[in-house]
Structure 1
Amino acid sequence: MNSKHHYISISQRKTIFSNKTLSSAAAIWFVTAVLGQWIFAFYVAAFYGGAAINGDFMKWNRVLPHGYIEGDTIGNMAVAIHLLFAIIIMIGGPLQFIPQIRNRFPAFHRWNGKLYLVTAFIASFSGIYMVLTKGTITGITGDISVSFNGLLIMLFALLAWRMAVVRKFKAHERWVLRLFLVVNGVWFFRIGLMLSFLLNGGPFGFDPETFRGPFITFLGIGQYMIPLLILELYFFTKDRTSNFGKLTMATALFVMTIFMGLGVFAATTGMWLPRL
């Protein structure tokens, strides 16, 4: 009896440890990602908002191809809405995943969640409009990958809303997590690009003059597909695998967090801060 009880107790401790380690790894990844996205949100607000306040809308074109076209009222409004909503999404979206806020301020959680889903949907719609009318710097492959990213955002936002309406909250939470990843595809693209610069000491797998090449094509698809695949693997590991599988997944998340942090550092120091 005692040995059996001792065996069960050790097994339970191992399960608790593996679950906590996996949850901790996910939390550290999330905090690192949010900090990086808030830095990006500050940059977007300071660069594009600052140019708008100063009336220097042509400054947008230093980063966005045909970001501002004189006389194109609808197109310019689409860009402005897209940028404004992107800031709202990056700042307010992560607050939905903080349990302390969700539990202590349920009304804020509900209304902020509605704002998050609606702004994500509208921002992606305006983003697709921008692609169709202005194109992307990466050409036709970029146009296709960014447009598909936008469609995924709208689809995931609708599914997250639907799951909340029918009170399937676990499914709702998972669709919102998927939305959180795809809505930040642009951010993942930038930190992936700058991480490659940091690790390679310069451009890798593409022509920096034309911004074309296999690595850019890979990033265009990978900016949302890779995070989604990792998330699905995390769900599978959390729900079904052994303690060893959970510890393996936790280790992989720790390693990915380190590389993501390096990408944030490279993008901040090499791309965003120099433009301010």
Structure 2
Amino acid sequence: MNTTYINETNTIRSQKMLNISARVWFTIAVLGQWIFAFYVTTFYGTAAIEGNYQKWNEVLPHGYTEGATISNVVVGIHLLFAVIIIIGGPLQFIDKIRMRARSFHRWNGKIYLVTTFIAGFSGIYMILSKGSVTGWIGDISVSFNGILMMIFAVFAWRTALQKNFVSHNRWVLRLFLAVNGVWFFRIGLMLWLFIHGKPVGFDPETFRGPFITFLGFGQYLIPLGILEVYLKVKDRKIPLEQWSMTMVLFISIIATGIGVFAATVGMWLPRL
């Protein structure tokens, strides 16, 4: 009797801590993403309003090309959709909004899935037409990220139509992480520089090196991998696994928080 009670109590506590750690990470991540969205809107938006599109190239190499109308429009759409996605996406995971504003949840969800699909496609188009700063390996990693975004968006839409909401929620979570690959890259880079105090594992001039290659794929594969383990642990409800996953999320909370802080003060605010 006592053993059963202790086991049940431990399971409840481990599950509670797992949920709390996931929510804390999500909150920090969303705040960091909204800071990034503010930066993108202010920097690129101000330059566009002033007609100074060349300023885009200070941050996004070959972002604007004189006379390349189609390519420039694609870049503009990609940036606009990025802001819409970053702001609107997290709202889909807030329980109060989902339960009390179901119409908003449905329409915001539709906009989110459509814009993420288009953003994935436009991102691949940008890579094919302009290339990436990190070379052909970067082209592959970014293109694969775009493909994953489109696949996840399709499955999220399909499961919603089937009213398979458990599966739908998981596909949207995968999409949420894949879509924010660019954001993960930036906070990952700034976290790395914060830890070492200088560029390590890459050349800051050419922006090439083993760490950049690792981060190019890790920006979405690592978060997606952690998510898959988290979902399995949550389903299995084994206390030891849940405590272990809680520790992983605790480390992720610290790493994300430092990365967001370093990116904000070292990358985004100085350009505004």
Measured against the shorter chain, the TM-score band is: over 0.9
CA contact (8 A) 1:69 1:76 kept: yes
Partners of 2:67 and 2:45 lie apart in 1 by 20
Q: What is the root-mean-square deviation in Å for CA atoms of aligned residues?
A: 0.8
Query: Which range moves more in the overlay, 13-22 or 197-206?
Result: 13-22
Render the CA deviation track for 1:202-233: whole Å, top value 9, x for unaligned. Answer: 11100001000000000000000000100001
SS class of match (2:89): helix
Partners of 2:6 and 2:99 lie apart in 1 by 32
Which one-letter code corresponds to 1:126 in the other structure? S
Gaps of 5+ in 1: none
Matched, 1:233 2:229: yes
Render the CA deviation track for 1:86-135: whole Å, top value 9, x for unaligned. Answer: 00000000000011110111111100000000000011111111100011
Residue of structure 2 in register with 1:126 after alignment: 122
Partners of 1:252 and 1:127 lie apart in 2 by 31
CA contact (8 A) 2:190 2:263 kept: yes
Which one-letter code corresponds to 2:50 in the other structure? N
Which one-letter code corresponds to 1:70 in the other structure? E
Task: Pick the aligned partner of 1:72 from 68, 76, 89.
Answer: 68
1:105-144 map, 5 Å: 105-144=101-140
Aligned residues: 272
Partners of 1:255 and 1:124 lie apart in 2 by 29
Partners of 1:248 and 1:165 lie apart in 2 by 35
Residue of structure 2 in register with 1:270 after alignment: 266
Residue of structure 1 in register with 2:195 after alignment: 199
Report the CA distance between 1:241 and its aligned residue: 4.7
1:20-169 map, 5 Å: 20-169=16-165
Residue of structure 1 in register with 2:174 after alignment: 178
Partners of 1:88 and 1:67 lie apart in 2 by 19
Report the CA distance between 1:16 and its aligned residue: 1.3
Q: TM-score, normalised by structure 2?
A: 0.98
SS class of match (1:40): helix
Render the CA deviation track for 1:238-265: whole Å, top value 9, x for unaligned. Answer: 1115111101111210111101110000
Report the CA distance between 1:8 and its aligned residue: 3.2
Render the CA deviation track for 1:135-183: whole Å, top value 9, x for unaligned. Answer: 1111101111000000000000000000011111100000000000000
Which one-letter code corresponds to 1:202 in the other structure? K
Which one-letter code corresponds to 1:39 in the other structure? I
Residue of structure 2 in register with 1:243 after alignment: 239
Partners of 1:124 and 1:256 lie apart in 2 by 26
* % identical equivalent positions: 65
Task: Pick the aligned partner of 1:216 from 212, 216, 226.
Answer: 212
Which one-letter code corresponds to 1:266 in the other structure? A
Gaps of 5+ in 2: none
Which one-letter code corresponds to 1:106 in the other structure? R
